[in-house]
Amino acid sequence: MEDVVIYGLLRGGIYAMAAFGFTLVLGVIGVVNFAHGALVVFGGLLTEYLGRMLGLPYPVALAGAACGTGLLAVVAQRFFIARTFKLEPLMVLVQTFGMAAVITELGIQAWGGEERMVRLETGLPPGWFLGETFVPSFDLLIFLVSLASTGLLFLLLSHSGFGRALRACRDRRESAQLCGINLNATFERTMFVSGLWAGLAGGMFVTLGPLAPYMHFTWTVDAFLVITIGGLGSIVGALVGGFIFGVLSFGASFYVPTAAPAVIFSVLLLFLILRPQGLFGTGPALRK
């Protein structure tokens, strides 16, 4: 059990980072972005490509891949999602699902369909024992970086003009427009932040486990489960939801590997029945 909790928490930081963008887009723009998992995978594969083919140091490749993923999300918002949302909001579900298929196919054409992973030499000690559990030093480093990125995103949304505009658009769009807030610009910036953190999540995960284009739907479902547990519209909720989902996922895979998906979705159903707003769900976001 100790191993399950520790490794679940370590991996939960990545799940939380993958869910940040999903909850932002759903809470602010009102779009269930089925292409979000494809953005996570795109960020991871682009990180691997920049490091392997261009020889960039890992931090530079990670930053470049994250920015590239953010720009891809902005392109999707400006030229596809925004136009469809004005005409028929529900059709965006179908549209983002199709975009995920397109991004996946482009990824297969660019990088192939095989699984890829980044191997790094960090110079760190192998790890430390926490009780009787061995904690790899690199896994701990990735976990700390995920916590730092959470703090950075929280500060951005709480103490910046962009964060205030985002909350205004989330709570009441008409009032935000009357105050001079440009909805289209705010939505595009929201998509950029969503893609940026999705790219970071993918770029960090690819150092811990394999990634391939076909994995996009799994990441979308995982992000949805995280915000279902943590609550829509809450960064803290996404972080806590990521930790809970990480422990739940590791525990189910360890104790009942043949029925792990059933156990995870059973817990999801319990959350939807007992606390549909999640642990830290916000009222305005739920009304949307």
For 102-111, the pLDDT digits (tens) are 999 988 998 8
Q: Tell me how far apart the alpha carbons of residues 228 and 278 are, in angstroms, rounded to a whole number.
A: 6
- Give pLDDT tens digits for 206-244: 999 999 999 999 999 999 999 988 888 788 889 999 999
Quick one: which H or E segment has residue 144? Answer: helix 137-158
Structure tokens at 112: 């192939």
pLDDT tier at 286 (50, 70, 90 boundaries)? very low
- The amino acid at residue 195 is G
Q: Chain centroid to CA 96: how far?
A: 16
- pLDDT reported for residue 264: 84
pLDDT for 130 beyond 90: no
- pLDDT reported for residue 282: 56
Please tell me which residue, 85 or 199, carries the higher pLDDT value. 199
DSSP notation for 50-79: HHHHS---HHHHHHHHHHHHHHHHHHHIII
Structure tokens at 110: 């660019």
- pLDDT reported for residue 134: 86
pLDDT tier at 189 (50, 70, 90 boundaries)? very high
pLDDT for 19 beyond 70: yes
Structure tokens at 237: 């909720």
- The amino acid at residue 259 is A
- pLDDT reported for residue 287: 39
Q: Which residue has the tokens 């980072």?
A: 17
Q: What is the 3-state secondary structure (H, E, C) of 164-193?
A: HHHHHHHHCHHHHHHCCCCHHHHHHHHHHH
Q: Tell me how far apart the alpha carbons of residues 202 and 208 are, in angstroms, rounded to a whole number.
A: 10
Structural contact between residues 199 and 70, judged by C-beta atoms closer than 8 angstroms: yes
Dihedral of alpha carbons 243, 249, 255, 259, sign? positive
Mean pLDDT for the chain overall: 88
Backbone angles phi, psi at 32, to 5 degrees: -85, 105
Segment 249-276 shows an average pLDDT of: 84
Work out the burial of residue 86: count CB atoms within 10 Å of its CB; fewer than 13 is exposed, 13-18 middle, 19 or more buried. exposed
- pLDDT reported for residue 102: 92
Dihedral of alpha carbons 65, 243, 120, 218, sign? negative
Q: Which residue has the tokens 């490091």?
A: 51
Dihedral of alpha carbons 281, 238, 41, 245, sign? negative
- Give pLDDT tens digits for 132-182: 888 888 889 889 988 998 899 989 988 899 889 988 888 888 888 888 889
Segment 62-90 shows an average pLDDT of: 92
pLDDT tier at 79 (50, 70, 90 boundaries)? very high
Closest by CA position to 140, among listed 255, 200, 148, 116: 148
Q: Tell me how far apart the alpha carbons of residues 49 and 51 are, in angstroms, rounded to a whole number.
A: 5
Q: Tell me how far apart the alpha carbons of residues 115 and 97 are, in angstroms, rounded to a whole number.
A: 22
Q: Tell me how far apart the alpha carbons of residues 12 and 283 are, in angstroms, rounded to a whole number.
A: 25
pTM over 0.85: yes
